[in-house]
Structures are given as C-alpha cells and as structure tokens.
C-alpha cells in the first residue's frame, strides 16, 4: 500500500505526522508541496478523498488568505482551488493519501484512520 504525504518540513504537525508514519514502519513518498504543488486535478482528487470543500482545506491564518481577499463568500470552489495552486502555502498540511483515501494530520494521529 503506497502512502504519500504532502509535507512541509517547517511545520511541526507535518514533521510529527511523518514521525508517526515511521513509528508504524511506513516509509511514505514525501511530496514537499511548497516546492512541487499539486495540479488542479490532483487537488480536486485530494479534496474528494478528504470529503471537504476547498475552503475547508485552506489555511485561513496565512497572510496570503487575507491579502488575496479569500474570505469573500462569492469566490467559487474553482477560484479557491486556483488560489491554492498559485499559492500552495494556503493548503493545510500535512495530507496523507493511501488506498484512495486521504486524511489531514491535524492531529497527526488522525492519519491512522486511513492506514
């Protein structure tokens, strides 16, 4: 069962989730999504696997969220996905994907539900 983690090494929750996977003897494929952001199609797939709307995957405390006016309720899902692709810092992390399922590592133990 291949496991992928969308990881930001500067994020403590992301590091903790990666450590938890290691404790479970899981060596995931690590995608540093700030360097290699997902495509629109991949982000839509992840959102579907998470079962959440684009706004629910956004880091609302990031400066870019306010600067870009992303709290505007008239923005469509397509708009929000576009902003996340253009500004991947807006994507909540970490995200673990395996077996057609995905989980946010907030808290890190939450990813155990899909393993």
CA separation for the pair 70, 114 (Å, rounded): 30
Q: Is residue 21 a contact partner of residue 110, using CB atoms and an 8 Å limit?
A: no
Cis peptide, bond prior to residue 94, ω within 30 of zero: yes
pLDDT range class, residue 1, cuts 50, 70, 90: confident
Give the pLDDT confidence of 10-44 residue by residue, as tens digits.
999 999 999 999 999 999 999 999 999 999 999 99
CA-derived radius of gyration, the chain:
14
pTM of the complete model beyond 0.85 = yes
Class of CATH domain 3-114: alpha beta
CB count, 10 Å around CB of 86?
A: 11
Whether 103 sits among the annotated catalytic residues: the reply is no
**Residue 65 phi/psi, 5° resolution?**
-60, -45
**Domain coordinates in residue numbering, the chain:** 3-114
Residue tagged active-site, from 11, 84, 91, 111: 11
Max intra-chain CA distance, the chain: 44
């Amino acid at each position: 069962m291949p496991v992928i983690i969308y990881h930001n090494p500067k994020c403590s929750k992301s590091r903790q989730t990666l450590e938890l996977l290691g404790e479970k003897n899981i060596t995931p494929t690590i995608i540093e999504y700030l360097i290699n952001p997902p495509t629109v199609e991949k982000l839509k797939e992840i959102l579907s696997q998470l079962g959440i709307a684009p706004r629910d995957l956004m880091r609302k405390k990031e400066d870019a969220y306010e600067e870009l006016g992303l709290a505007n309720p008239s923005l469509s899902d397509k708009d929000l996905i576009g902003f996340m692709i253009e500004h991947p810092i807006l994507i909540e992390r970490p995200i673990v994907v395996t077996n057609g399922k995905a989980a946010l590592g907030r808290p890190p133990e939450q990813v155990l539900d899909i393993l």
